[in-house]
Amino acid sequence: MKRLIFSYAQKGIIYVLLLILGFVYLYPIIFMVTTSLMDMEDLVNPTVKWIPTSLYFGNFAIALKVLDYGKSLLASLAMAGLPAIFQTISCALIGYGFARMEFPLKGLWFAMLIFSFLLPAQVTMIPKYIMFNAYGMINTPLPSLLPALLGQGIRSTIFVLIFYQFFHSYPKSMDEAAQIDGANTWTIFLRIALPMSIPSIVVSLIFSFVWYWNETYLSGIFFGRVIQTLPMKLQAFVDSYSRLYPTSDGSTVNALNESIRMAGTLLTIIPLIIFYLILQKQFVESIDRTGITGE
Amino acid sequence: MDNAKAGNKKRLTLRKRNAIEGYLFISPWLIGFFLFTAFPFFYSLYLSLSKVNITPQGITAQWNGLSNYIDIFTKDIEFVPALIDTVIFVGLSTPLIIVAALLIALMLNSQFKGRSVFRAIYFLPVIIISGPVMSELINNKAINIIEPTRYSIYQIFKTLPLNIGSPIIYVFDNMVTILWFSGVQILIFLAGIQKIDKALYEAAQIDGASSWEIFWKIILPDLMPLALINAIYTIVDVATFPNNKINVEIASNMFKTGNVYSYSSAMSWTYCLIIFVILGIAFLILRDRRSES
């Protein structure tokens, strides 16, 4: 009995702690939603802290325009979707090679694979820029697509390891049976290994998509002047706003306020949140598939 | 005898074929590694030791010795503060993120309703975190969950000696950032805790061990390898985050007039070395000591 009460108390404490933590986690998002729905009056009214007196959607109309939403949404989808597909294809191949074949210097290459994860992208950025510039690839999507296709995209190492782990653990007898039936390695990879690895493919696709979507540092330098994704547009929000709504005449009617900026931020992450709501289970269960916790 | 020889030969060619096929499968990575990682790695070292000129024929690099490195440390008034700022950010955030992730994972491990909802909430920032979104949130005070200056307790910490007080103030100021960077780490710890053999707990409980003892004697030693993985992931994640002062500095000096490319190459190489030192420290602290004894 005493033990039962104790365990209930323990559960209660954990519950409260988790709720507080959950609030801290969601605080910026709650702040974003409520602030973006406030009109000018609510924003300056000190008695209105959280709940707007009326729902005002004007901020979103302005933010949609400033972000050039339709165009930059398409750019974001393309510049996240294509590298994600390319990265998944290359990492599946590479992971299969490392997992199922024995070849000289395998250990060395594997070590280099880990090393390339640890190396900050800032170090290789400038020579890459010079290289892409020499081939006229700056301001095209190629500086993002080519590394993805060659297993050097954003955190490619993690995805290679996910595929490595998967192909390493599935029974080799499947391959051998196919081999006896006369299938060559390529057919085995395409017809047997790949269809079985769909869970790994999903993990690789969705994480690549999210990480490419959120990347602005390299892509801003490589093609930011021509292709503007949503996060890049958000980065330039203040500038774009003042170009669309100049306040040079000194009036404060058009002044940029935090409600509009929060509406812009919310619009930038909404596609990702929808994506997450749909695939939430896949995201959260992904860690188990990496195999880093050992089997 | 002949049969065995033939078999041997066949196995050898099989091995050779396997090796060729292996190289074919990893060839995209090999090409990519040399093109986009190994060559740029050494080329940026070379650039950092050169003076680069852009001519109509292309770029020319002249040997310049260590002068870029000397300049960034002695003449640049922004580099050293930016570097220190980032090192403090990485050095303080990493242990805090690891501890926070471990505590949250422990809490999430118990059985109760709504567990998956909490897990989903804690992982959400991993999906939406990006440089521009973070800057907007910081600029518009959306992450100042508590305005610490309003509370007297904050003033008490301020009066403490700097080396005790400042990390505590740091935690207050960066609470949301620390939590937002810990989504992946929580899941890694959680998966690790769930893999620990339940029989071990039960045996310990029968022997009269408390939850406290079980945590320190069974759970924590088992999670050490994962703590190392988490530390490495955190350092890489935090160090390459585009809003870091040093990363802003590197990008903004890339086309510095009179010293294009080479000046910020020296910055990025310096930064890279420091990150490797931090990774090395993390490795020394968290490496598996059990296997040594």
Q: B167: how many CB neighbours lie within 10 A of its CB?
A: 14
pLDDT (0 to 100) of residue A177: 83
| Cα A234 to Cα A244: distance, rounded to the nearest angstrom | 14
Q: What is the pLDDT of residues A152-211, one digit of tens each?
A: 999 999 999 999 998 988 777 877 888 888 888 889 999 888 998 888 899 999 999 999
Contact B221, B204 (CB under 8 A): no
pLDDT (0 to 100) of residue B222: 87
Residues facing B53 on adjacent strands: B60
Q: Which residue bears the tokens 């491990």?
A: B109
CA angle A157, A160, A164 (to 5 degrees): 135
Contact A235 B131 (CB under 8 A): yes
Q: What is the pLDDT of residues A205-260, one digit of tens each?
A: 999 999 999 999 999 999 988 999 999 999 998 888 888 887 665 555 567 788 89
Handedness of CA B278, B100, A211, A114 (dihedral sign): positive
pLDDT at A49 exceeding the cut of 60: yes
Residues facing B52 on adjacent strands: B61
A95 confidence band (pLDDT: 50, 70, 90) = very high
Q: Which residues of B touch A288 (CB under 8 A)?
A: 191
Contact B142 A262 (CB under 8 A): yes
Contact A88, A208 (CB under 8 A): yes
pLDDT at A262 exceeding the cut of 60: yes
| Cα B51 to Cα B261: distance, rounded to the nearest angstrom | 9
**pLDDT winner (highest mean) among A76-80, A176-180, B68-72, B240-244:** A76-80
Residue A49 DSSP symbol? S
What does each C-alpha distance from A238 to A233, A246, A280, B98 come to in angstroms?
A: 9, 11, 33, 35
pLDDT (0 to 100) of residue B1: 45
Contact A90, A287 (CB under 8 A): no
pLDDT (0 to 100) of residue A180: 85
DSSP A133-197: HHTT-TTSSHHHHHHHHTT-STTHHHHHHHHHHHHHHS-THHHHHHHHTT--HHHHIIIIIHHHT
The answer to ipTM > 0.95 is no
pLDDT (0 to 100) of residue B194: 86
pLDDT (0 to 100) of residue B95: 93
Q: Which residues of B touch A126 (CB under 8 A)?
A: 40, 44, 47, 254, 261, 264-265, 268
Q: Specify the amino acid at residue A259.
A: S
Question: Considering its fold, how many domains does chain B have in total?
Answer: 2
Name the architecture of domain A67-253+265-290: Orthogonal Bundle (1.10)
Q: What is the dihedral of CA B246, B248, B250, B251, to 10 degrees?
A: 170
Query: Do residues B124 and B13 share a domain?
Result: no
**pLDDT winner (highest mean) among A87-96, B107-116, B143-152:** A87-96
Contact A231 B264 (CB under 8 A): no
Query: Do residues B245 and B199 share a domain?
Result: yes
Q: Of A227-241, B18-32, B279-293, which gets the smallest average pLDDT?
A: B279-293
Tokens standing for residue B184: 């992946």
pLDDT (0 to 100) of residue A159: 93
Query: Do residues B26 and B109 share a domain?
Result: no
Contact A24 B21 (CB under 8 A): no
pLDDT (0 to 100) of residue B154: 67
Contact A49, A34 (CB under 8 A): no
Q: What is the pLDDT of residues B157-179, one digit of tens each?
A: 667 676 667 777 777 778 888 88
pLDDT (0 to 100) of residue A293: 64
Q: What is the pLDDT of residues B246-270, one digit of tens each?
A: 999 999 988 887 788 899 999 999 9
Query: Does residue B159 lie within any of the structural domains?
Result: no
Query: Does residue B229 lie within any of the structural domains?
Result: yes
Helix/strand/coil (H, E, C) string of chain B? CHHHHHHHHHHHHHHHHHHHHHHHHHHHHHHHHHHHHHHHHHHHHHHHCEEEEEECCEEEEEECCCHHHHHHHHCCCCHHHHHHHHHHHHHHHHHHHHHHHHHHHHHHHCCCCCHHHHHHHHHHHHHHCCHHHHHHHHHCCCCCCCCHHHCHHHHHHHHCCHHHHHHHHHHHHCHHHHHHCCHHHHHHHHHHHHHCCHHHHHHHHHCCCCHHHHHHHHHHHHHHHHHHHHHHHHHHHHHCCCCCHHHHHHHHCCCCCCCCCHHHHHHHHHHHHHHHHHHHHHHHHHCCCCCCC
Query: Does residue B189 lie within any of the structural domains?
Result: yes
Query: Do residues B6 and B125 share a domain?
Result: no
Window 73-102 of B, Cβ < 8 Å to A? none
Query: Do residues B77 and B40 share a domain?
Result: no
Tokens standing for residue B160: 């403490």
The CATH code of the domain that includes B267 is 1.10.3720.10
Query: Does residue B176 lie within any of the structural domains?
Result: no
pLDDT (0 to 100) of residue B293: 44
Query: Does residue B170 lie within any of the structural domains?
Result: no
A235 close contact with B: CB closer than 8 A: yes
Contact B40 A264 (CB under 8 A): no
B138 confidence band (pLDDT: 50, 70, 90) = confident
Q: Which residues of A touch B130 (CB under 8 A)?
A: 213-216, 231
Query: Do residues B212 and B276 share a domain?
Result: yes
Tokens standing for residue A196: 């079985």
Mean of pLDDT over chain A: 88
| Cα A97 to Cα B21: distance, rounded to the nearest angstrom | 8
Q: Using CB atoms, which residue from A124, A261, A273 is nearest to B128? A: A273
pLDDT at A70 exceeding the cut of 50: yes
Look up the domain containing B36 and give its range: 2-48
Query: Do residues B25 and B87 share a domain?
Result: no
Mean of pLDDT over chain B: 85
> For a pLDDT cut of 70, what percent of chain B falls above it?
88
Residues 6+ apart with CB under 8 A from A72: A228, A229, A230, A232, A233
Distance of residue B163 Cα from the nearest chain A Cα, in angstroms: 26
B275 close contact with A: CB closer than 8 A: yes
Q: What is the pLDDT of residues A2-25, one digit of tens each?
A: 667 777 888 888 889 999 999 989
Q: Of A137-141, A285-289, B63-67, which gets the smallest average pLDDT?
A: A285-289
> For a pLDDT cut of 90, what percent of chain B falls above it?
40
Which residue in chain A has the smallest CA separation from B238? A120
Query: Does residue B266 lie within any of the structural domains?
Result: yes
Q: Which residues of B touch A27 (CB under 8 A)?
A: 142-143, 145, 176
pLDDT at B5 exceeding the cut of 60: no
Residues facing B62 on adjacent strands: B51
Query: Do residues B95 and B209 share a domain?
Result: yes
Window 163-202 of B, Cβ < 8 Å to A? 175-176, 179-180, 184, 187-188, 190-192, 195
Domains in chain A: boundaries: 67-253+265-290
Q: Using CB atoms, which residue from A149, A151, A293 is nearest to B192? A: A293
Q: What is the pLDDT of residues A116-129, one digit of tens each?
A: 999 999 899 999 99
Which backbone phi and psi does A136 adopt, to 5 degrees? 65, 30
pLDDT (0 to 100) of residue B153: 66
pTM of the model: 0.90
Q: Which residues of B touch A287 (CB under 8 A)?
A: 184, 187-188, 190-191
Query: Does residue B116 lie within any of the structural domains?
Result: yes
Contact A235 B195 (CB under 8 A): no
B254 close contact with A: CB closer than 8 A: yes
Query: Do residues B85 and B38 share a domain?
Result: no
pLDDT (0 to 100) of residue A273: 93
pLDDT (0 to 100) of residue A254: 66
